[in-house]
Amino acid sequence: MSAEANRPTQDRNVQSNAERRYTVRRADLPLSCPMPSMALWNSHPRVFLPIEAERESKCPYCGAVYVLED
């Protein structure tokens, strides 16, 4: 496993909306799309997403799906 994979999600430099499915952890909550680690200059307005009850949430702007891992 790479060192990048072991870094916390919020520490990774992720291009916004580059993927369609993201795995998040409780440490990443509250969940917003785009996430704080994503480049914001070309993205949509930040929206907070409920994820704890269903363990999955979809962004109404870009369609990215977030899955709560733990």
Summarised one tens digit per residue, pLDDT across range 21-50 is 999 999 999 999 999 888 776 689 999 999
Distance CA 42, CA 39 (A): 7
What average pLDDT score do residues 11-21 get? Answer: 62
Domain boundaries, the chain: 3-68
Q: Which residue has the higher pLDDT, 9 or 23?
A: 23
| Residue that the structure tokens 């704080």 belong to | 36
pLDDT of 10 above 60: no
Q: What is the DSSP string of 23-61?
A: EE-GGGPSPEES-TTB--TTSPPPEE---TTTSEEE-TT
Three-state DSSP at 64 gives coil
pLDDT given for residue 43 in this prediction: 82
